Amino acid sequence: MIEVRPFDGLGHFRNEWLDTHHHFSFDTYMDPRRMSWGPLRVWNDDLIAPGTGFGMHGHRDMEIITYVREGAISHRDSLGNEGRTVAGDVQVMSAGTGIMHAEFNQGAEPVLLFQIWILPNRQGLKPRWETRAFPRQARHGKLVALASGRPGDGDAIPIHQDAALLGASLAPGESVTYGLDEGRRAYVVPTVAGISINGVAVPPRAGAAIAGERMLNIQAEAPTELIVADLP
């Protein structure tokens, strides 16, 4: 089963500094058919205006992964962490027992990013934050684990869940294959160009919810990046 969720059918919110699309129910957008996909609870496609961002606010018991597509996002939190994550790189915040944080675009151009929330496999964990560089040239034509709680994904930023977030950069007509273990599911989002998954067309910034498939053959129509969530 490959269910495509078109970009123009996602939840949408816009104000003077944020233009965001919700793949799953979030904030004022509520769709009982789209509450989660396994432990994947949130996938927001955010555009943040220059000089703006999310002020200090709190989270708990959630693995929050940020994949920056364009620009850079600056982070500050109640643990004393400060850092900047640039396009192509990833930050992970394990909210655990509770953390306050702020995220700002301090640049002169808009920031594009995916904000992805995954439910942890247990509650009450110690909160933490980490950012890591993932050079785009290292994932040309192949999927690379960016954040993962699975054994064997040692170069990925760790998360507290039997799940993985992977990224690839594809040239026109280029393809990658990805195997899913029995009983697992996936959620796939291409960025600037459409892809096909086992012959099913997925337009840019649409989501593909996948279950019951053991092998994914993913082909790009034009140069694009794609993000794959492998989920229990």
pLDDT, tens digit, 9 for 90 and up, residues 186-220? 999 999 999 999 999 999 999 999 999 999 999 99
- pLDDT confidence band for 98 (50 / 70 / 90): very high
Cβ atoms within 10 Å of 109's Cβ, excluding its own: 11
The burial class, CB within 10 Å (0-12 / 13-18 / 19+), for 172 is exposed
Q: Give yes or no for a contact between 216 and 180, defined as CB atoms under 8 angstroms apart.
A: yes
The pLDDT assigned to 154 comes to 82
Look at 55-64, 132-141, 160-169, 213-222 and tell me which has the smallest mean pLDDT: 132-141
Average pLDDT over residues 218-230: 97
Number of folded domains in the chain? 1
9: Cβ contacts below 8 Å, ≥ 6 apart: none
Average pLDDT over residues 77-86: 97
Pairing of strands 18-22, 40-48: antiparallel
Q: Any idea what the CATH number is for the domain that residue 223 is in?
A: 2.60.120.10
- The residue written with tokens 């960025």 in the block is 191
Starting at the earlier edge strand, list the strands of the sheet with 157-158.
2-5, 207-211, 185-190, 224-231, 164-170, 144-148, 157-158
Average pLDDT over residues 127-136: 95
3-class state of residue 221 by DSSP: coil
Q: What are 146's two structure tokens?
A: 């960016």
Containing structural domain, residue 124: 2-231
Q: Give yes or no for a contact between 24 and 41, defined as CB atoms under 8 angstroms apart.
A: yes
Q: Give yes or no for a contact between 226 and 174, defined as CB atoms under 8 angstroms apart.
A: no
The rounded distance, in Å, linking the Cα atoms of 128 and 130 is 7
Kindly report, residue by residue over 18-66, the tens digit of the pLDDT. Answer: 999 999 999 999 999 999 999 999 999 999 999 999 999 999 999 999 9
